[in-house]
Amino acid sequence: MQLRQLKQALEALLFVTEQPLSEQQLLAYFAPEQVSKKQLLAVLDELRQDYAERGVQLQQVASGYRFQTRTELGGIISRLWQEKPPRYSQALLETLALIAYRQPITRGDIEEIRGVSVSSQIMKTLQERGWVKVVGHREVPGRPQLYATTSEFLDYFSLQDLSELPAIPDAPAPLRNSAQAAQIPAETATDIE
């Protein structure tokens, strides 16, 4: 198969699919003697460069390759759809962040860190979205479920793996004595009079 034909075929496959396609899935569409993995990767890189300055781009995510619109065009494109994208509560987002950064983690661990109980609806929503799954049980009394993120979570947030999550900023240093912080310095107090 000529490289031009391979490029056209890959472009067409990636445009019509609803899910990202892995290298193995893409290779399965061709006879082994027609396309090598090296050729496939070279053509995918060529496609990525071809679309670098366009409104859509070839993106590699955890599950494979897909075409997606550029992030900066989201505001314009969102006007195409009448329905609003789902809005998630602060509690749901905090729970998802804890699972992503501390996985595998139990619901009890999440509650301990957040200081409040985690509603069953939050865990159900995260699992229905396919972002979180049960990956085992902790070997303690009660055998609580251990939660971790899925490849669908990575795909949704355009990540190839968890190492691409943004770094957590350092917490500000706590004040030694909050009463000291609230006091007005003596020289400032005399200026007020």
Q: Please indicate, yes or no, if residue 188 is contained in any of the structural domains.
A: no
Q: pTM for the complete prediction?
A: 0.63
Quick one: 100 and 130 in the same domain?
yes
CA distance 67 to 48: 9
Quick one: 113 and 49 in the same domain?
no
Whether the per-residue pLDDT at 102 is higher than 70: the answer is yes
Determine the pLDDT at residue 175: 56
Choose one of 75, 106, 127: the last residue of a domain: 75
Q: Please indicate, yes or no, if residue 123 is contained in any of the structural domains.
A: yes
CATH of the domain at 46: 1.10.10.10
Q: Mean per-residue pLDDT for 172-187?
A: 51
Whether the per-residue pLDDT at 61 is higher than 50: the answer is yes
155: enclosing H helix or E strand: helix 151-156
Q: Please indicate, yes or no, if residue 65 is contained in any of the structural domains.
A: yes
Quick one: 65 and 118 in the same domain?
no
| pLDDT digits 0-9 by tens, 20-46 | 999 999 999 988 788 889 999 999 999
Quick one: 59 and 94 in the same domain?
no
Quick one: 63 and 113 in the same domain?
no
Structural domain that includes position 158: 90-164
Question: Residue 77: how many CA atoms within 13 Å on its side-chain side?
Answer: 10
Q: Please indicate, yes or no, if residue 63 is contained in any of the structural domains.
A: yes
Quick one: 96 and 159 in the same domain?
yes
Q: Please indicate, yes or no, if residue 192 is contained in any of the structural domains.
A: no
Of 35, 30, 1, the residue nearest 13 (C-alpha): 30
Determine what percent of the chain is predicted with pLDDT higher than 90: 56
Of 190, 98, 112, the residue nearest 149 (C-alpha): 98
CA distance 149 to 62: 12
Whether the per-residue pLDDT at 164 is higher than 50: the answer is yes
Quick one: 100 and 64 in the same domain?
no
Whether the per-residue pLDDT at 71 is higher than 90: the answer is no
SS3 (DSSP) at 177: coil
Determine the pLDDT at residue 187: 44
Domains: count for the chain: 2
Quick one: 58 and 121 in the same domain?
no
Question: Looking at 47-184, which runs of residues are DSSP E strands?
Answer: 56-61, 64-69, 105-106, 132-137, 145-149
Quick one: 33 and 99 in the same domain?
no
In the sheet that 145-149 helps form, which strands lie side by side, from edge to edge?
105-106, 145-149, 132-137
Whether the per-residue pLDDT at 95 is higher than 80: the answer is yes
| Residue found under tokens 């070997």 | 139
Of 147, 163, 157, the residue nearest 63 (C-alpha): 157
